[in-house]
Amino acid sequence: MMRERAKLSSPAPAARRGRFGDALTLLAPIVLGLLLTLGDTAPVAQIRSLLFDHYQRLSPRPWNPNLPVRIIDIDDASLARYGQWPWPRDTIAQLTSKLAAAAPAAIVFDILFAEEDRFAPERLLERLPPSPERDALAKKLGTRSPDPFAAAIANAPVVLALALTTQPSPFTGVSSKSGFVELGDRAAPALPAFPRAILPLPALAAEARGLGAINYLPDRDLIVRNVPLVFALATGDTRTLLPSLDAEALRVAQGLDTIVLKSTRASGETSFSSRSAILEAKIGEAEIATQRDGTVRVRFAGHQPARFIPAWRIIEGDLPLDEIRDRILFVGASAAALSDLRSTPIDTAVPGVEIHAETIEHVVTGSRLTRLDYAEGLEALVLIALALLTGMAAARLRPAGAASVTAIALAGLFVASWLAFTRGDLLFDPLTPGLTALATFGAVTLRMFRRTESDRRQVRDAFSRYLAPAVVDRLAADPSQLKLGGEARELTILFCDARDFTAHAERLDAESVVSFLNALHTPLTAAVLSHNGTIDKFVGDGLMAFWNAPLDDVDHATHACAAALSMVEAIPSIDARLSAAAQGRKDNPPRVSIGIGIDTGEAFVGNMGSEQRFDYSAVGDHVNTAARLEAATKTLGLAIIVSDATARAARGFDFVDLGDLALRGKSEKVRAWALHGRSGSHDESFGQFVELHRRALKGDLDSRAAARLHPLGEGYSGFYDRLDENRDPAGD
C-alpha cells in the first residue's frame, strides 16, 4: 500500500541548536559589552568622556564673582604698553610688589622663570664687543646686581612654577617647599611620574614660599578634564612627591606647611582594585576627592571675563583692592602671541591660567565630580540587567512592545546618569550599558526575524502539497495560527476511495499502478485544495482531507461538499487521461469510480506520532464516521454520502434523505443524506423525485417503483434494493 505524508523532522536536535543559538545571540553582545566596560579601553573612555563633557555644557558649575580667585592677565593691551614678553625683571618685580601691597592670600605665577633676565646690565654687557669702554663699564658694575624680582618675592606670598619633563634637564635635584603626610598606602606608585624637572632660578626659588608643577595631563583629544594635585619625581629608585601649582596655591593661601594624602588602607578605606589608589587630598580646610591617580575631575564653569584683571592696570597703580585682597591671584597670559591656550569640556580655547583658576574654584565651592572606584562594576551589573531585559523583550513581545520596553529602559538609564551627575556629582556611564542593551535587542530581533522567516519556509514546505495556496500564504504570514501541539476543534472530514482498485491493480504492473494513482490523486487533490481543504493522508487509492484546520474556516462544511462535487466532476477527465495513456501501453485501463463520505463534528487535530516522525492529522469519532460513510457508498451505489450534521451546516446544495443508516463499527445508527448536487442545478422534476423518494423511504411506495417512476431513481437503485430487502444498508 502506498502512502504520502506530511513529514516533519525530529525537533530534538533542531531545538538544541536553536537554544544554543538563542543563548549565543543573547550572550555575545553582553560579553563584548563587559569586555569594553571592565577593560576600560581607550575608545570607550574617550566616548564616555565626551558624554560627560556634554553634561558639563548642559549643566556647568555656577560661577559667583565673590569666589576668592582672580587672574592677573598679561593680555595684548599689557604687551602693547610694556613691550613683548618676557618683560624685564624689574617690571615683574613692580607688578609683584604692587600686588603684595594689596594683601592677597597668594600670588601664583603660571610662568616658568628658568632663565636669567635678558635685560639685566650684566646680560647687556655680555652682548657688547670687547673694547676699553666695555672693560671700564664692567669694572664700574663690579659684582652682579641683585635680582629685583627675587627681592619682591621675599616680601610676598608667592608661588613659583616648575615644569616636570621627560627631556634632558640641567637640574639634578628638587627641594619641595611643601611637606606631605601620607595615610594608608604609599601615594607615589599611583601618581603621575616624571624623571626630570625644570626649576626656576635658584635665587627666585629660594625666596618663594611655594613651588608647584604647572604640568597638565590632557586626554588623547587634548581636552583638559583632570588636573593633577601631586606628582612624583622619579630619579632612580627614589620617588619624591611634588605638589602641583594649584595645590601649592591652596597651601600657601592658608599658611600651611603640609599636604595630607589619603590612600587605600587608610582608616579601613579599600579599593576595588589590587593597585594602590589616592582617595583624597586634604589641604587645610579643603578636602578634595580625587581619582585613583590623585587628579581632580574639574567641574568647569566656563570662561568668565570677570575673572581677569589686566596686568597693566596693576603696574600703573589702578589697584582694584576689593578684587585683590585675600584672594588667590594667578599671574598668567591670555595674549594671543604667547599661545598659552587649552581646551576644556566647555570651552574650545581658553588661557591655560584660567584652568588653574577653575580648579581652585572647584575646590573652594566644594564641588565633587567623581567616578566611584566601583563604577565599572556597577555599570557591568546594569549592562547585564538591561541587556537581558531588552533581549527577553525582543524574544517574547511583539516588535512594538519590545521596542517600547527597550526605549523606556534606555531613557531610564540616561535619566539616572543625568540625575547622578546633577544631584550627586557622580559620573556614571550610560553609553556602554545602553549600547550593549541596544545591540542585544537588535541581535535578538534579527534572530527572531530570521526564525520567523524560517518558520514561514517550514510552513510552506510542510503544507504546500497539502493545503490550498491561499491557506499556505496565510500560515506563512502568521505561523502562530498553526498550533503544532494539537487542539480539539470542529472539523468537516472527507474520505474518498476508488471503487474496485484492488482487483484492477492485480492486472497492472507496478509502473502502471503508480501512473494510475498519480492520475487519480492529482485532480482529486486539486479539488480539495481549491476549496481550502487540508490533505491529511493518501492511503493507496484513497485520501483523507479535512476543513477548518489549521486555519479557521467558518464555511468548512460548505467547502467540503463543494470539493466532493468537484472530485466527482473530475472523474470523466481522469478516465480520458488514463485511456490515452493506456493506448501507448496497449492495455485495458480500468474505469474510475469513487465514493465519498463526509461528516462534521469535533475532532482532535495536530501533530501526532513520535519525536522522530509525526504527521499533521485529525482523529476522533467523527473521523471514523466519515470513513464509514465512505464505505457505505460502495454498498448503496451512491457517490457522496454526508452526515446529518454536514447536511445542516452546508449551504447551497441539494440533499436526498437516506434515513438512519447502520454503519459498520457504529453502535448507533447515523442519519445520512446523499449529496445530489448544487442548489439550482436541477429542473422542477427533482422535486418530484424527492417526493417519490420520501414515500419510498417511509414505505408508502415500493422502492423499485420509485426507481422506475423517475429517471433520477436509477442512481439510487442500489439503495432501494437494500431498502426493499430490509437488510443493513451498510452491509457487513
Of the CA atoms within 13 Å of residue 353, those in its CB half-sphere come to 29
Q: pLDDT tens digits, residue range 598-627?
A: 999 999 998 776 655 667 789 999 999 999
Top-confidence residue, 171 or 373:
373
Contacts of 495 (CB under 8 A, 6+ apart): 542, 543, 544, 596, 597, 598, 626, 627, 629, 630
434-443 average pLDDT score:
89
Q: How far is CA 53 from the centre of its chain?
A: 24
Q: Quick check: is 520 in a domain?
A: yes
**Closest to 730 (Cα-Cα) out of 668, 675, 676, 677:** 668
pLDDT range class, residue 587, cuts 50, 70, 90: low
Q: Quick check: is 391 in a domain?
A: yes
**Percentage of the chain lying above the pLDDT 90 cut:** 47
Say whether pLDDT at 41 is over 60: yes
Say whether pLDDT at 80 is over 90: yes
Report d(CA 216, CA 110) in Å as an integer: 12
Q: Residue 114: how many CB atoms within 10 A of its CB?
A: 17
Q: Quick check: is 719 in a domain?
A: no
Say whether pLDDT at 128 is over 60: no
Top-confidence residue, 557 or 515:
557
Contact 230, 261 (CB under 8 A): yes
Could you say which DSSP state residue 539 is in?
A: E
From residue 294, alpha-carbon distances to 228, 231, 616 in Å are 6, 8, 72
Instruction: Give the pLDDT of residue 411.
Output: 94
pLDDT range class, residue 567, cuts 50, 70, 90: very high
**Percentage of the chain lying above the pLDDT 70 cut:** 83
Asked if 674 and 563 sit in the same domain, the reply is yes
Instruction: Give the pLDDT of residue 2.
Output: 32
Report d(CA 170, CA 647) in Å as an integer: 113
Instruction: Give the pLDDT of residue 723.
Output: 77
Instruction: Give the pLDDT of residue 332.
Output: 95
Asked if 303 and 422 sit in the same domain, the reply is no
Contact 576, 468 (CB under 8 A): no
C-alpha cell at 572: 470523466
**Listed ranges 29-38, 461-470, 589-598, 612-621; the one with the highest mean pLDDT:** 589-598
C-alpha cell at 364: 573652594
- Strand, coil or helix: what is 94? helix
77: left (phi over 0), alpha (psi -120 to 50) or beta: alpha
Asked if 359 and 389 sit in the same domain, the reply is no
pLDDT range class, residue 686, cuts 50, 70, 90: confident
Instruction: Give the pLDDT of residue 302.
Output: 94
In this structure, are strands 179-183 and 653-661 parallel, antiparallel, or unpaired? Answer: unpaired
Where is average pLDDT lowest: 63-67, 95-99, 351-355, 713-717?
713-717
**Closest to 106 (Cα-Cα) out of 160, 181, 176:** 160
Top-confidence residue, 301 or 37:
301
How far from each other are the two terminal CA atoms of the chain, in whole angstroms? 23
- Strand, coil or helix: what is 717? helix
Say whether pLDDT at 312 is over 70: yes
**DSSP string spanning 57-87?**
HHSPPP--TTSSEEEEEE-HHHHHHH-SSSP
**Listed ranges 257-271, 328-342, 351-365, 585-599; the one with the highest mean pLDDT:** 351-365
C-alpha cell at 220: 588623547
327-350 average pLDDT score:
91
Asked if 535 and 413 sit in the same domain, the reply is no
Report d(CA 557, CA 490) in Å as an integer: 10
Asked if 265 and 330 sit in the same domain, the reply is yes
Contact 494, 471 (CB under 8 A): no
Residue corresponding to grid cell 468537516: 492
Q: Quick check: is 339 in a domain?
A: yes
pLDDT range class, residue 693, cuts 50, 70, 90: confident
Asked if 539 and 395 sit in the same domain, the reply is no
Asked if 263 and 395 sit in the same domain, the reply is no
Asked if 186 and 278 sit in the same domain, the reply is yes
526-554 average pLDDT score:
91
Instruction: Give the pLDDT of residue 15.
Output: 54
Where is average pLDDT lowest: 231-245, 439-453, 659-673?
439-453
Contacts of 132 (CB under 8 A, 6+ apart): none
Instruction: Give the pLDDT of residue 611.
Output: 59
Q: For the chain, what is the mean pLDDT?
A: 84
- Strand, coil or helix: what is 672? strand
**Listed ranges 41-45, 198-202, 468-472, 721-725; the one with the highest mean pLDDT:** 198-202
pLDDT range class, residue 580, cuts 50, 70, 90: confident
Domain region containing 533: 490-681
Top-confidence residue, 642 or 392:
642
Say whether pLDDT at 3 is over 50: no
Asked if 89 and 48 sit in the same domain, the reply is no
pLDDT range class, residue 728, cuts 50, 70, 90: very low
Asked if 570 and 610 sit in the same domain, the reply is yes
Q: Quick check: is 409 in a domain?
A: yes
Instruction: Give the pLDDT of residue 118.
Output: 72
Q: Residue 378: how many CB atoms within 10 A of its CB?
A: 15
Helix 11-39 to helix 431-463 angle (10° resolution) is 170
516-522 average pLDDT score:
89
Report d(CA 114, CA 170) in Å as an integer: 11
Report d(CA 358, CA 304) in Å as an integer: 10
**Closest to 645 (Cα-Cα) out of 563, 562, 556, 719:** 556
Asked if 536 and 676 sit in the same domain, the reply is yes
Handedness of CA 535, 537, 543, 546 (dihedral sign): negative
Number of domains in the chain: 3
Q: Quick check: is 722 in a domain?
A: no
From residue 584, alpha-carbon distances to 115, 502, 505 in Å are 118, 23, 18
Instruction: Give the pLDDT of residue 608.
Output: 76
Q: pLDDT tens digits, residue range 82-99?
A: 999 999 989 999 999 999
CATH of the domain at 539: 3.30.70.1230
- Strand, coil or helix: what is 214? coil
Radius of gyration of the chain (CA): 50
**Closest to 242 (Cα-Cα) out of 300, 160, 149:** 160
Instruction: Give the pLDDT of residue 6.
Output: 36
Say whether pLDDT at 123 is over 80: no
Say whether pLDDT at 512 is over 50: yes
Say whether pLDDT at 651 is over 90: yes
Report d(CA 307, CA 321) in Å as an integer: 14
Report d(CA 157, CA 155) in Å as an integer: 7
Say whether pLDDT at 43 is over 90: no
Asked if 128 and 224 sit in the same domain, the reply is yes
Instruction: Give the pLDDT of residue 691.
Output: 86
> What sections of 570-611 are H helices per DSSP?
571-585
Instruction: Give the pLDDT of residue 657.
Output: 92
Instruction: Give the pLDDT of residue 18.
Output: 62
Q: Quick check: is 705 in a domain?
A: no
**Closest to 207 (Cα-Cα) out of 243, 156, 258, 145:** 156
Instruction: Give the pLDDT of residue 349.
Output: 92
Q: Quick check: is 586 in a domain?
A: yes
**Listed ranges 161-170, 212-221, 372-381; the one with the highest mean pLDDT:** 212-221
Last residue of a domain, one of 364, 380, 408: 364
pLDDT range class, residue 654, cuts 50, 70, 90: very high
pLDDT range class, residue 475, cuts 50, 70, 90: low
Count each helix (H run) and each strand (E run) in the chain, helices first: 25, 27
Instruction: Give the pLDDT of residue 55.
Output: 94
Contacts of 449 (CB under 8 A, 6+ apart): none
Last residue of a domain, one of 318, 340, 364: 364
pLDDT range class, residue 485, cuts 50, 70, 90: low
The whole model's pTM is what? 0.62
pLDDT range class, residue 277, cuts 50, 70, 90: confident
269-286 average pLDDT score:
75
Report d(CA 610, CA 401) in Å as an integer: 36
Instruction: Give the pLDDT of residue 70.
Output: 97
Per-residue b or e along 250-264, where b marks 16 or more CB atoms closer than 10 Å to that residue's CB: bbbbeebeebbbbbb
Where is average pLDDT lowest: 81-95, 428-442, 581-595, 620-634?
581-595
Say whether pLDDT at 360 is over 70: yes
Instruction: Give the pLDDT of residue 295.
Output: 93
Last residue of a domain, one of 681, 697, 725: 681
Instruction: Give the pLDDT of residue 474.
Output: 61
C-alpha cell at 27: 550572550
